[in-house]
Amino acid sequence: GGNVALQIMIDHAKHECPVAITPDGPLGPNFKMKAGAVITAKKSEVPLVLVGVGCKSKRKLHSWDNFEVPFPFSKVQLVYSEPILIDKNLSYDETSKMILQCEEKLNELQKKAQEFSD
């Protein structure tokens, strides 16, 4: 389940393997960041980089998150955050606060990337 996947991501990150996470999880809600990315960064002591994505030509799927699939050769804009170091000693409440801060930053990046596609 989720705990096994989280431990695998932490192990991969510790061994310098890239890890990419859809932050709102497989079931949403849309634009609400789950704990996985922050916990992975915290426990692996690897910086977290948030990415907003926008594309010009795309198909929107009729799914809970309006998932977008770029058409071939479509121009895509990626907007990155600075690396975010998550202190491994953060308390539960501090970690929860960090998740909300990352969610706000990610939504800003996503909005900026989407401006490219409008």
Residue range 25-80, pLDDT digits in tens? 777 788 899 999 999 999 999 999 999 999 989 998 888 878 888 999 999 999 99
DSSP annotation string for the chain: -HHHHHHHHHHHHHTT------TTTTT--TT---SHHHHHHHHHT--B--EEEEESSEEE-SSTT--EEEPTT--EEEEEPPPBPPPTT--HHHHHHHHHHHHHHHHHHHHHHHHHH-
- The range of the structural domain enclosing residue 45 comes to 2-117
Averaged confidence pLDDT in the chain = 91
| pLDDT of amino acid 118 | 65
Count of domains observed in the chain: 1
Q: What is the pTM of this model?
A: 0.86
Percent of the chain beyond pLDDT 90? 62
